[in-house]
Structure 1
Amino acid sequence: MNCLGYGPQITQARRDAYREHDRLWTAQKSGSVTRITTGSKAEGLTGFSESDFDYMFIVEGIMCLENVFHSDELSKETYVFTLDTGVCYHGHARLNLLERRGANYSSHVRDALCKDENGRDILSSAEFLRSYSDAIGPTDVVRHERAGPSLPLSLEAWHHDNVFSLRCHCPCILLRWAERSRHWPPPDIVHKVVTMGAFVVPVGFKGSDYQHLEWRIGFNTGENELMRSLNNTQVYIYILLKMAVKDILKPGKKEISSYTVKNIVLWLAENNPQAQFNESSLLYWLREGLDQLRTAILKIQLSYYMIPERNLMEACGLDEEQKRIWVNTITDMMNECLNTLLRLPRIRKAKLSHPKLLMWYNKKIVELELLFLKSCCRNCQCKDEHGVANDSDPMMQEIKSRMRKITREVHHRMNNKGSIVDDYDFWKILKMMLM
């Protein structure tokens, strides 16, 4: 796993790089919007082009409250909504307008206000999302159809899932989570997650007649912190289960997602002593994870880790035939023990490759990826007030020089090993190595 780029050092380096890039991006927006990288990139568990980029854009100056009595603690400049969870599926809410308006009266908010069936002012998730549909990305991007709360777009070979969200203060929900009896996470992490609060994103429950008015409650920053506190074995279980879903089950409509797998691993970590998760028990816990996945598919039931009343499999669209095929496939994997790993393409390729050559190449990929991430951050730092980067910056020149040296080494090694490659092309080899 370390050789494939999932070791703790590279994982932490990725996390740090994406946090720094988010900080720099947010600073350029003068506090109106905060960007947070989420998903596998924030976890540090995928290479630069190995998966989509998941970004959450938090619209500042707006707060959603679980309890209206907390409104006096907020700045008078804050635009305030209250959470109405009583009429929605678990983990969802409507946002009712509180009878005061902040100075930061966003046009996106104004355009998304409407009346509910009782004549109250309410913020429509569908209209809010529509108002932001053209607010992100340069003009040359390819925009895709809405996917849940996301406004996806593509820029060359890279796909971005962009979610606009609002801050949410829901201490009762978080305290119910914090007070559970558990083996993990430790008390300091529990406290930290509670202080991070929550967010609401513009998507309703699929089975609701009023989903265009509903918002989903999430804990992205808290979940990022939870993933960082997993030990190496738990992280490897998560990676292997994700590979199994992506490369073996191959869901076509996200009936099962990486988020499903993440919740399975979080429940395993909470319900079992940490000391039992070690290198020698990896296969045992992989089998346990597969068993939990099989049960979730069979029963169409998996409790959301932060709000257990919410069933992540509800309305997933899984038909009986697909359910039967996946249950049988997972059962076969569980019975194969060690051979289960050889079903996974990346593991199988690593097993069959020449170990010294594989280790050399993966070290080059890791170094190149880190340099590329540094160049992204430095590019942000070198931009002027018009958004134009200074290409003559000495640090940027040094980073690019090292990247070119690595790609030349790889090009030379490939030709020496009999893999004839065209004349040296920096960008072509760079994309090849980062894809």
Structure 2
Amino acid sequence: MTRLGYGEEMRRWRVAKYRECDRLINAYLSNELVTIITAGSKAEGLTCFLESDRDNLYLLKNVICLEAGINLYSIPDDLQVYRMDTQVYPGHCRLLLERQTSSCYEIIHNALCDNGNGDVLLSSSLLLDEFSSLSAYAGQLLTAYTGQRQLDVEQHKCVGPSSPHTIEGSFHGDKVLALRCLCPSVLHRWAARPRHWPSPVIVKKVVTLGAILTPVGFKGSEFKHMEWRINFNSGEAELVSNLNDTQAKVYVILKMIIKDIIKPTNKEITSYILKNIVLWQAERNPQTRFSAYSLLHWLHDGLRELRTAIAKKHMPYYMIPERNLMEACGINNRLHRKWVADITDMLEEGPGVILRLEKIRKAIVGSPEPMLWYSKTRMELEMLCIEETLTYSDFVLNSIRFRRREVLKEVRQRMIQEGGSVNNLLKFVNAMLK
């Protein structure tokens, strides 16, 4: 796993670099209406450069949402304020306009609705439609950030709260609009739970990182177009970054199993469910039990938890246990029986289940010297690609590109020596970084 780029050192390096990337882009775009935050597996440092989509939160700056009990007068006057009505499915809310400002974003104004009772609500579906139409604006931010020519950005159909896009045909990403949210009671309930993990210092930090709202309602709700989901992206990224090496690798292997073996077609089972399984494992068990020697034990424990979640269609959300992540997940009876049987077969197979995973199988059966060379080269290429996005110095940029050309020459020579074809080196390198 370490040779494949999932070691603790590489994981923490990625986390630090993507945080630096966010700092630089937001400093450069300080006058824009949003703050951009890297989220998902990239923020957690658990995927290679092109291995999965890059998720970015677009956090609107002059809007804030408050739970009941927070004094409105403690909020700066330049912020538009919405009050959270949580009398809906757990982990969701509706937003009632509490205080308007003299200047209001057009996309916000166009998403306001009158509920017929004198209240003004902010519609999640209307705001998502407004945001999705701003593809040109998103492209301008990307171009400004990279400091390059106008990028070729292809927009795709929205999936849930995310607006997917592809840059230059190779870089896949998701843009998710978000609103800042103050819900201290929810975070304090989470913090007060008895636990083995994380440490009190990390618990306190997660509480200070707060929450956001994303424009997606509960799937089974009649009024989902008016509902918002409470998320803790920054806090969860901090929690994942504090998983130890074994816990992080269990999470990565579980994701590989879902992708390579279970293969859900409509996101009935997501990596988010697997993340919650690993977070519950970490909280409920002493850290001393998670070592390199116990990796397979915890992998099988995670698979058992997944099987139970599918069988019962129930997985409590780590931050808000009342929210069931499997509720209205769309698993029909055929898939339900098949996946329970498939996971049972994997559990009975024992440690050999990891040989079903192509990446791991190739790493195990490959000759040591070529595998070491491949691992070193792949990680250097990834580091060069990420560093390239972090510099505006022509001297540093030219040095990075010179070194990358040298590495690519070495890759080409190695392929020729091994009798391989070098018709499209760029395509091969892209495959290395996935």
Tell me if TM exceeds 0.5. Answer: yes
Q: Which moved more, 1:406-415 or 1:32-41?
A: 32-41
Aligned to 2:281: 268
Q: Does 1:398 align with 2:399?
A: yes
- 1:390 corresponds in structure 2 to none
Corresponding residue SS for 1:377: coil
Q: Quote the offset at 1:116 in angstroms.
A: 1.9
Q: Which residue is equivalent to 2:165?
A: 153
Residue 143 (structure 1) aligns with: 155
AA at the equivalent of 1:146: C
Residues 200 and 314 (structure 1 numbering): CA distance in 2 closer, same or farther, change over 3 Å? Answer: same
CA drift of 1:96 comes to 0.3
User: Is the partner of 1:189 in helix, strand or coil?
Assistant: helix
Q: Residue 140 and residue 413 in structure 1: after superposition, are their counterparts in 2 closer, same or farther (change >3 A)?
A: closer
Match of residue 186 from structure 1: 199
Say whether the 8 Å CA contact 1:13–1:370 is kept in structure 2.
no
Separation (CA, whole Å) in 2 of partners of 1:143 and 1:409: 36
- Partner in structure 1 of residue 20 of structure 2: 20
Q: Tell me if 1:299 matches 2:312.
A: yes
Given that 2:412 and 2:425 are in contact with CA atoms closer than 8 Å, whether structure 1 keeps it comes out as no
Distance in 2, Cα, partners of 1:215 & 1:335? 41
Amino acid of the structure 1 residue aligned with 2:154: V
**CA distance in 1 between partners of 2:421 and 2:265 (Å):** 36
Q: Is the 8 A contact 1:43 1:228 kept in 2?
A: yes
Instruction: Please list every run of 5 or more consecutive structure 1 residues that lacks an aligned counterpart in the other structure.
Output: 383-392
* 1:231-282 deviation line (CA, Å, top 9, x unaligned): 1110011011111111100000000010010000000111111110111111
Q: TM-score, normalised by structure 1?
A: 0.94
Q: How does 1:15-414 map to 2 (within 5 A)?
A: 15-31=15-31, 32-86=33-87, 88-98=88-98, 100-135=99-134, 136-137=138-139, 140-155=152-167, 156-378=169-391, 381=392, 393-414=394-415
Q: Which secondary structure state, in structure 2, belongs to the residue aligned with residue 212 of structure 1?
A: helix
Contact 1:78 / 1:103 at 8 angstroms: preserved in 2?
no
Distance 1:340 1:430 in 2: 29
Is contact 1:79-1:103 (8 Å) kept?
no
Distance in 1 between residues matched to 2:60 and 2:368, nearest whole Å:
48
Q: Contact between 2:15 and 2:44, CA under 8 Å: does it hold in 1?
A: yes
The CA deviation string for residues 139-181 of structure 1, in whole angstroms up to 9 with x for no partner, is 7322111111111111212211110000000011111101011
One-letter code of the match for 2:329? C
Matching residue's letter, 1:44? G
What secondary structure sits across from 2:316 in the alignment? coil
Q: Deviations 1:372-417 (Å, cap 9, x if unpaired)?
A: 1010111xx35xxxxxxxxxx1110000000000010011011011
Say whether 1:421 aligns with 2:422: yes
Residue identity matched to 1:109: I
2:432 matched to which residue of 1? 433
Give structure 1 regions of 4+ aligned residues with deviation exceeding 6 angstroms. Answer: none
2:312, 2:36 → 1: CA distance?
Answer: 37
Q: Which residue of 2 aligns with 1:387?
A: none
Is contact 1:36-1:55 (8 Å) kept?
yes
Letter in 2 for 1:127: L
1: CA distance between counterparts of 2:287 and 2:251? 15
The alignment partner of 2:269 has SS state of coil
**1:407/1:429 contact within 8 Å kept:** no
CA distance in 2, matches of 1:295, 1:146: 31
1:327-347 alpha-carbon deviations (Å, 9 max, x no partner): 111111111111011111111
CA drift of 1:68 comes to 4.9
List per-residue Cα deviations over 1:11-41 (Å, max 9, x = no partner): 1111112111111221222253111111111
- Taking only aligned residues, the RMSD between alpha carbons, in angstroms, comes to 1.4
Deviation (angstroms), 1:104:
4.2
Aligned to 2:390, the other structure's residue is in SS state: helix
Q: 1:224 to 1:108 in 2, by over 3 A?
A: same
Distance 1:408 1:184 in 2: 46
2:246/2:292 contact within 8 Å kept: yes
Q: Deviations over 1:289-335 (max 9, x none)?
A: 00000000000000000000000000000011111111111111111
Identical pairs, percent: 47
d(CA) in 1 for partners of 2:44 and 2:281? 18
Moved more, 127-136 or 255-264: 127-136
SS at match of 1:58: strand
- d(CA) in 1 for partners of 2:332 and 2:52? 27
Q: Distance in 2 between matches of 1:408 and 1:432?
A: 16
> Equivalent residue of 1:262, what SS?
helix
Helix, strand or coil at the partner of 1:205: coil
Q: What is the rounded CA distance, in whole Å, between the counterparts of 2:222 and 2:45 in structure 1?
A: 38
Counterpart contact for 2:15–2:241, Cα < 8 Å: no
1:41-88 deviation per Cα after TM superposition (whole angstroms, max 9, x unaligned): 1111111111111111100011100025332111110110010001x1
Which stretch has the larger CA shift, 125-134 or 301-310?
125-134
Deviation at 1:362, TM superposition (A): 1.2
1:342–1:5 Cα change, 3 Å: same
Distance in 2, Cα, partners of 1:296 & 1:9: 32
1:117 deviation in Å?
A: 4.6
> Gaps (5+ residues) in structure 2?
141-150
SS in structure 2 of the partner of residue 137 of structure 1: helix
The Cα of 1:426 is off from its aligned counterpart by 6.3
Q: Give the number of aligned pairs.
A: 419
